Amino acid sequence: MKRSWALGVAFLIAGCGPQYTIPNYDTGEIEKVISSGRNPQACIDQLKEDADKLKVKVRLTDVHHESTSGPIAWLYTNTYICTGKVVAAKS
C-alpha cells in the first residue's frame, strides 16, 4: 500500500514541478533524478543543477519528448524529460 501511494505522489509531483527523485526502497537513498526542460539542452542543464542541489552525481540515462495537449499547453509545460541515475554522493 505504501509503495503504490508513493508512486502516485511521484506522478503528481512530476506534473507539478520540473524535478523529482525516485528512491531505492531497500536503502532509502536517491536512485534516480528526473528533471524537465523546454528543449533537450535545457533539460540536461536542469538535471545537472538538480543533482548539485541534492548533492549527488548523476549519469544521464534518458532524454525524451512528452507531448502536450490543448491549444496553449506549450506555454506552461516543459516537454523534455531527462532521467539521471545516481552514481555517487558528492562530498
Q: What's the number of domains the chain is made of?
A: 1
User: What letter represents residue 69's amino acid?
Assistant: S
- In tens digits, the chain (91 residues) has pLDDT values of 555 555 454 444 444 444 788 888 898 888 999 999 989 999 999 999 999 999 999 999 999 998 877 777 767 677 899 999 999 887 6
Find how far residue 61's CA is from the centre of its chain.
11
**What is the grid cell recorded at 20?**
523529482
Residue-number span of the structural domain to which 42 is assigned: 2-89
- Helix (H, G, I), strand (E, B), or coil: what is residue 19? strand
pLDDT at 66: 85
What single letter denotes the amino acid at residue 75? L
Cα separation, 21 vs 13, in Å, equals: 10
